[in-house]
Each structure stands twice: as C-alpha cells, then as structure tokens.
Homo-oligomer: A and B are copies of this chain.
Amino acid sequence: MSDSAPSRSKTPPLPPWRSALARALHRNRSRPYSRYFQLATITPAGRPANRTVVFRGWLPDTNSLTLITDQRSAKVTDIAAHPWAEACWYFTSTREQFRLAGPSQVVSAADLTLAPARQTAWAELSDRARQQFYWPQPAQPRSPAAAFAPPENQPENQPETPPDNFSLVLLTPRQVDHLELRGDPQNRTLYTCQPDDTWQVEAVNP
C-alpha cells in the first residue's frame, strides 16, 4: 500500500445528490421546518398516504435518511406492505425540491443489528418528543387529558432506554429528482442509481 492510497480511500464516494442536498439544508438552516419533508407510502389497501416527517440525519456510513416513528403509526404497516417510498422535500428559502425514492425499512426494537442507531436517535430526542411515545393509541378516540400526562409513573422515559414502540425508519434513495425553481428556465437534475451502485446524473427539462 503506497502513501498515495490511504486506507480511507476504501470508503465509497458520496453519491452526487448528497452534496446538493447538504447545500440546501445548509442554505435553509435558519428555518427549522427545513428539516421537515413529506413521505409518501402506499397503504395495505393500495392507497397513497402522505405525511410530514422530520429528518433525523443519515444512518452512519450509508446514504439512508433516518426518521422516527411510533410502531403504532400507520406508516409502519404501509412500509411492511409496500417498502418503496417517495419523499418530497421542498426548501422554501432557496425554492428547490428534492424527490427521493427508494426502499424504506422500519427498524424496531427487535432489530439487533441496528440497535445502536435506534438508541442514538432516542437519546437525541427532546424530552417532549420522547413523551409522545407514551401517549395513548394514535388515531383512536381522544383520550382524557390525564392519559397524556408526563412521566412520574413512567420511569422508563429515559434517554438511555427507548420504549418498545419507538422505531427508526430508513429511506435509501435509488432515484433523486432535484428541481430548482429559481433558474430561468428552471434547472432539473435526475440522479439514478445503477445496478452496480454507481449514480447516473442527467440534466433534464423541468
């Protein structure tokens, strides 16, 4: 091994859309909702579902976006039935949109391989966000206020110990469609993952 080939060269290069997305996140960072995007899935009944989620960063050493979910959330059964999902991420300040499509996966308490990532995501939540995982069953008739009361009798609300219903969701893009509205005409770039895991980049008409 020569000096000119250090061991870190084994790390595969970031796909080209990562830098465009990193730039958008940076340039829109003053607006907290720039970390929100809309995740579309397909329900077991075959209908589209769409909701706002919060980007929780990258799964380390991968190109998978992470978000969190309650295991009781409908998106868990959606993903089990139809793993392919599409995120639509619009940045209001720079007026650009990323559509990120690929397989998604739920990392539940039963997943031992990714337990560290799940643990880290739990530890990084605010107390208030953690509390939601102790709320009563989502989408059921509204429970009395006491059912939402903070811990005391919930000593398990600890940064160290995620509850069983706390899960990660991973989305691993295989296609990215980046549209910049500010161009005249607008700029649009398609990134497509090839079978050999390299990325094809193409400027297309908006």
Listed in ascending order, the chain A residues whose CB lies under 8 Å from chain B are: 31, 33, 36, 38-42, 46-52, 82, 84-88, 90, 92, 97, 99, 101, 132, 135-143, 145, 148, 185, 188, 190, 202-206
Contacts and interface: CB of A to CB of B under 8 A. Distances in A.
5 contacts: A40-B40, A40-B86, A52-B97, A139-B204, A142-B204
A200 to B, nearest CB: 12
A-B pairs with the 10 shortest C-beta distances?
Answer: A40-B40, A40-B50, A50-B88, A38-B38, A40-B48, A142-B203, A148-B185, A50-B86, A52-B90, A38-B88
Interface of A is mostly: strand
B38 A90 contact: yes
A205 B33 contact: no
A81 B36 CA distance: 29
Given A51-B97, A87-B50, A92 B31 contact: yes
A101 B40 CA distance: 12
Given A40-B50, A140-B205, 4 more contacts: A42-B42, A50-B87, A135-B205, A138-B204
Contact of A47 (B38, B101, B190): B101
A117 to B, nearest CB: 24
A125 to B, nearest CB: 15
Nearest to A90: B52
A86 B142 contact: no
A148 to B, nearest CB: 4
B48 A86 contact: yes
B52 A48 contact: no
A8 to B, nearest CB: 35
Contact of A205 (B51, B101, B139): B139
A89 to B, nearest CB: 9
Contact of A52 (B46, B88, B190): B88
A82 to B, nearest CB: 8
